[in-house]
Structure 1
Amino acid sequence: MAIGQGLFVLASLGLAGIFLLQVLDAAGTVAIGFADWRPVLYAYLFWSVALCARQVLVRGEEGQKALFVLPAVLFTVAMAIFPTVFGFYIAFTDWNLSSSTGMKFNGLDNLRSLVNDPFFWNALGNMAFYVAMVLVQYAIAFGLALLLNAEIRARKFFRVAFLLPFMLSPVAVSWMIGKSLMEVRFGPLASLMKTLGWDSPAFFASPWIARLSIMAMDAWVWIPFVMILLLAGLQALPHEIKEAAKVDGATGWQSFWEITFPLMLPVSITAIVLRIIFQLKLADIVINVTSGGPGGATDTISSFIFREYRDRSNVGYGTMVAEVYLIVIIIFITLLLNLTARFMRKPD
């Protein structure tokens, strides 16, 4: 017991000392830090091993049970929590990779720049539109799920065929559709639009047409995901209720609206929430097809952050945007989950 406790105390002191030394060096207080953060990582690994050993040596059987959880917790701290906390530190610095001055603390300057940045608010408004379009995708996916749940010929073939877009990378979809089929000069879809009377079928020249085009490609990729969740829910519904409604003389629409749709609400809400979470990360199609254009009309927060890093090498400001967007997502998802929980809570 004493060995385990002593090993843990020694590892904790070592980790705290190395981390403090590295922080002081990064702040410019001392000049005896390490070249990178690798020693801190090694100290953290040693501290993690010491913590696990302490659990076994000090707590016995209870400590052995904790070993089933501790590695996952420690990995999450290292790969998710620490980078997020470290990102908050970077967000309050003036750090441009193209500058020779390196990283400098600049207080709230990045936050002030963000508040006064019209491109950020434009991208945030676009995200509100993209998230709202999830409801349209849900409606289409529900219709397809109902179709594939019905007794139709080649039902298994259509189920696999409708899932094919979800198997493709969004980057491949953006080049296959956005850069090929919808190309204004030689694209097959553009040629079809010319035949139908559209003189200049430029899908990405007008702001609203560009947004809808991006959403069409995004929907083509993600509707199968929502569809397969709803299809699984439909197949789990009891057939006796539908048969009883049919015997009572309910029409197809009445059976859907009064029975199928209410019973599918838990699955529907789960599918919509998951789809919204994925939608909040939309970037790849926008980056590859329009790069946020025309004039930022299709920009998302993720594509905006990407350009801050890649084109402007502005690590400090880009990280501030990312951290603020993370806070916005946490608040939005928390409110959404609370709202859905209240909506689904049965009355006493």
Structure 2
Amino acid sequence: MTHYFLEPVLALCSDRSILAMDNPRMPGPDVWFSDNYIAQFGLTGISFDFFINWISGGLDREVWLKRPINPAAIHDWGLLQDQDIIRALRNDNKFRRLVNFAGKNFCTASAIIFDDLQDWSHESAGLIYAHWPKDASSGQGLRIRRITRAEIEETIRAKSGGAITIGNKGLFYGTSRLECAMSKTNALWPGDADLVLCDNQSLEPIAILEFKKHTQNSKLYFANQCLSNYYPRPDGRKYDRLALLSHQLVPGKQIPVFALYYSTDPTELSVLVEQVKGMAGSLQGAEITRIAIDPTKLAQGLGALVSFILSRAHQNTGGAPLAPLSN
């Protein structure tokens, strides 16, 4: 199958050839919560970018997915026609799943398609804004707009309740050259939900997961990782936005939020799990639990990690924990 889009990659903004460090002995979250693995628990995982209006504190009901094009599959970005985009999105399982998730959770979804090799210093640099209908099985109702960087900045400011910045230096690491460039403007790219664990049939959200990587050159010991190291400073806005998402995504229900800490240090073979509790502006971390991830017994460790999160999530919502499905 032709892959029309590339997955965003976390890399140094100043040199995109330098990728973020990983633990050479332990896989990362993309393996822990891969659909192939969590399907045995009746789960699927959804990731997306989302907006909080920082004036009202309200969640914008449109979620975004960055879709940088694959130059090997799309040879001439400038000649893309609407039917080309429709065909590519129909074959994009990740976006189709987000559309289904959005439709069942009172939201809508848009794909932000772009060639990340273009010069983002120019406000005339282009993107494609594709808004999909709630029914992902049909392309009917799909709205496609070709916009400039200046226009998407205007959209971001409108959805964020005004200008939003992180300082003149911008991001150190980013998932695209676009995101890195916009981090130096007053239209910061919206934050993301690293992963929303959902029932794979109903797509009902069960837990919101935030992954926090500890690096070997950190001044903090891995064992001392906890929310208070980052909240309310320097990452207050990140955690407040997750809290607002947890309270507003599903009307009448609060979705539990968990921070998962892991290390690039090859001697640290475990994940620290901390539930984030409270309201935006006054969040607190609960007791931290260490889950060992032995590379020689990977399935056992990952099973314990998923089962623990499910157990804690269902304690908060009053449901019954999901067990692995029988073959």
- TM-score band by shorter chain is under 0.3
Which is richer in strand? 2
Which is richer in helix? 1
User: Please, what TM-score do these two structures have when normalized by structure 1?
Assistant: 0.20
User: Please, what TM-score do these two structures have when normalized by structure 2?
Assistant: 0.21
Structure exhibiting the larger radius of gyration computed from Cα positions:
1
Which one scores higher on RCO, CA 8 angstroms, separation ≥ 6? Answer: 1
